Homo-oligomer: A and B are copies of this chain.
Amino acid sequence: MNAQDALGNDGERRRRFARIALSFVAGPGDLVLGALLRSCGPAEAFAAVCDGRPPGPDGAAGPGGFPGLSRALARWAARLDAVPTDAKLAAWERAGIRIVCPGDPEWPTQLDVLGAARPLLLWLRGCADLRLACLRSVSVVGARAATAYGRHVATEMAAALAERDWAVISGGAYGIDGCAHLGALGGGGVTVSVLASGLSYGYPQGHHELFAAIAKQGAVVSEWPPDRSPTRPGFLVRNRVIAALSRGTVVVEAALRSGALNTARHARDLCRPLMAVPGPVTSTMSEGCHEIIREWGAVCVTRAQDVIEHVSPVGEGLADRRRGPARPRDSLDPKATAVLEAVPARAGAGPAAIAAAAGLDLDTTMRCLGALAAAGFVERCARGWRIRKNT
| Interface residue ranges of A277-313 to B (CB < 8 Å) | 277-282, 286-287, 290-291, 293-294, 299-303, 306
* Contact residues in B for A325 (Cβ distance below 8 Å): 257
Q: A149-B280, A341-B233 are in contact. Are A294 and B287 (CB under 8 A)?
A: no
Closest to A310 in B: B294
By the criterion CB–CB under 8 Å, are B279 and A281 in contact? yes
In the bound complex, CA of A152 to CA of B278 (Å): 17
Is A153 in contact with chain B by the CB < 8 A criterion? yes
By the criterion CB–CB under 8 Å, are A231 and B342 in contact? yes
Interface residues on A, range: 35 or more
Copies in the complex: 2
Is A127 in contact with chain B by the CB < 8 A criterion? no
In the bound complex, CA of A108 to CA of B290 (Å): 34
In the bound complex, CA of A389 to CA of B75 (Å): 30
Partner of A356, one of B78, B153, B293: B78
Is A324 in contact with chain B by the CB < 8 A criterion? yes
In the complex, per-residue mask of A25-67: 1 if CB is within 8 Å of any chain B CB, else 0: 0000000000000000000000000000000000000000000
Partner of A293, one of B75, B300, B322, B327: B300
Is A91 in contact with chain B by the CB < 8 A criterion? no
Is A381 in contact with chain B by the CB < 8 A criterion? no
Q: A75-B359, A290-B302, A359-B75 are in contact. Are A282 and B149 (CB under 8 A)?
A: yes
Q: A342-B231, A356-B78 are in contact. Are A278 and B300 (CB under 8 A)?
A: yes
Is A88 in contact with chain B by the CB < 8 A criterion? no
By the criterion CB–CB under 8 Å, are B231 and A341 in contact? yes
* Contact residues in B for A383 (Cβ distance below 8 Å): none
Is A101 in contact with chain B by the CB < 8 A criterion? no
By the criterion CB–CB under 8 Å, are A324 and B290 in contact? no
Is A94 in contact with chain B by the CB < 8 A criterion? no
In the complex, per-residue mask of A151-176: 1 if CB is within 8 Å of any chain B CB, else 0: 01100000000000000000000000
Partner of A281, one of B229, B233, B303, B356: B303
By the criterion CB–CB under 8 Å, are A294 and B323 in contact? no
By the criterion CB–CB under 8 Å, are A152 and B282 in contact? yes
By the criterion CB–CB under 8 Å, are A282 and B153 in contact? yes
* Contact residues in B for A306 (Cβ distance below 8 Å): 294
Shortest CB-to-CB span from A101 to chain B, Å, is 24
In the bound complex, CA of A255 to CA of B327 (Å): 14
Partner of A291, one of B277, B281, B282, B322: B322
Is A79 in contact with chain B by the CB < 8 A criterion? yes
Partner of A278, one of B232, B279, B338: B279
In the bound complex, CA of A357 to CA of B233 (Å): 11
* Contact residues in B for A300 (Cβ distance below 8 Å): 278, 290, 293-294, 300
By the criterion CB–CB under 8 Å, are A256 and B294 in contact? no
Closest to A74 in B: B361
By the criterion CB–CB under 8 Å, are A256 and B341 in contact? no
* Contact residues in B for A301 (Cβ distance below 8 Å): 294
Spell out A's residues near B (CB within 8 Å).
Answer: 75, 78-79, 149, 152-153, 229, 231-233, 255-257, 277-282, 286-287, 290-291, 293-294, 299-303, 306, 322-325, 327, 338, 341-342, 344, 356-357, 359
Question: What are 16 inter-chain pairs, A to B, with CB distance below 8 A?
Answer: A75-B356, A78-B356, A149-B280, A152-B282, A229-B344, A231-B357, A232-B341, A278-B279, A278-B286, A278-B290, A287-B302, A287-B322, A294-B299, A294-B300, A294-B301, A300-B300
Known: A257-B324, A281-B302. 11 other contacts (CB 8 A): A78-B356, A149-B280, A152-B282, A233-B341, A278-B279, A278-B286, A278-B290, A278-B300, A290-B300, A290-B302, A291-B322
